[in-house]
Amino acid sequence: GFSLFGAGAYFAWRSFSHVQTRVNIWLDPWKNPAGDGYQIIQSLFAMAFGGVTGTGLGLGGGVRIPASENDFIFAVIAEELGLAGGALVLIAYLLMVGSGLRIATRADHAFDKLLATGLTLLLGLQAFIIVAGVLRVLPLTGVTLPFVSYGGSSLVVNYVLLALLLRISDESEHSRQPVPMAEVAA
């Protein structure tokens, strides 16, 4: 499995110049600090400037990070709310993923279980990829941070995803409720 992923990643890196650029920025953003590496370097400075408690809500210098409302919104959160606020955002996503997986385990039908698991993993993976990209754990991909980043279609899709999870939860809760004796006797 991992060897196929590695082979595919290597093929993509060799075949597409924009993938090479993103990987090179990830590996060494200081190679071109005024060009390709500028955005990631500014986000690292912003998160460091935020410290543990942050600069205060709305008091960060988000203007120094290009696309701060899209790809680097987590850096702005970490700057303004600090390590504590960034950790709270990550905990909120973990709670969302935990709730989604709980909905999946309580679903009555196999399709609902599979759908809830897939939707939950999609939400969690999207959050993981963008946060890992901002923290330089993974190369940047350009996906949005669910429910936070600026992106109309992404926001709508995430709300539909959440609505489907709530519908599965509601359906499984209603099927677990006891039937009144009057309906059983009839």
Burial 95-128 (b: 16+ CB within 10 A, else e): ebbeebeebbebbeeeebbebbbebbeebbebbb
Q: Check whether residue 85 and residue 163 sit in a common domain.
A: yes
Domain count, the chain: 2
Q: Check whether residue 91 and residue 2 sit in a common domain.
A: no
Confidence (pLDDT) at 62: 64
Residue keyed to tokens 């959440």 = 162
Please report, rounded to a whole number, the percentage of residues in the chain having pLDDT higher than 90. Answer: 45
Range of the domain at 20: 1-30
Identify whether 42 is part of a domain.
yes
Identify whether 82 is part of a domain.
yes
Q: Check whether residue 50 and residue 123 sit in a common domain.
A: yes
Q: Check whether residue 51 and residue 95 sit in a common domain.
A: yes
Q: Check whether residue 129 and residue 172 sit in a common domain.
A: yes
Q: Check whether residue 46 and residue 85 sit in a common domain.
A: yes
Q: Check whether residue 102 and residue 13 sit in a common domain.
A: no
Identify whether 107 is part of a domain.
yes
Q: Check whether residue 126 and residue 51 sit in a common domain.
A: yes
Mean pLDDT of 32-36: 84
Identify whether 126 is part of a domain.
yes
Q: Check whether residue 1 and residue 44 sit in a common domain.
A: no
Q: Check whether residue 166 and residue 142 sit in a common domain.
A: yes
Whether 86 and 152 have beta carbons less than 8 Å apart is answered as: no
Identify whether 160 is part of a domain.
yes
Spatial distance between the Cα atoms of 20 and 1, rounded to a whole number of angstroms: 23
Q: Check whether residue 2 and residue 42 sit in a common domain.
A: no
Read off the tokens for 73. 């919104």
Identify whether 184 is part of a domain.
no
Identify whether 145 is part of a domain.
yes
Q: Check whether residue 107 and residue 167 sit in a common domain.
A: yes
Identify whether 186 is part of a domain.
no
Give the predicted TM-score (pTM) of the model: 0.83
> What confidence tens digit (pLDDT) does each residue in 85-141 have?
999 999 999 999 999 999 999 999 999 999 999 999 999 999 999 999 999 999 888
178, pLDDT greater than 80: no
User: Which residues are CB-neighbours of 64 under 8 A, at least 6 positions away?
Assistant: 42, 45, 46
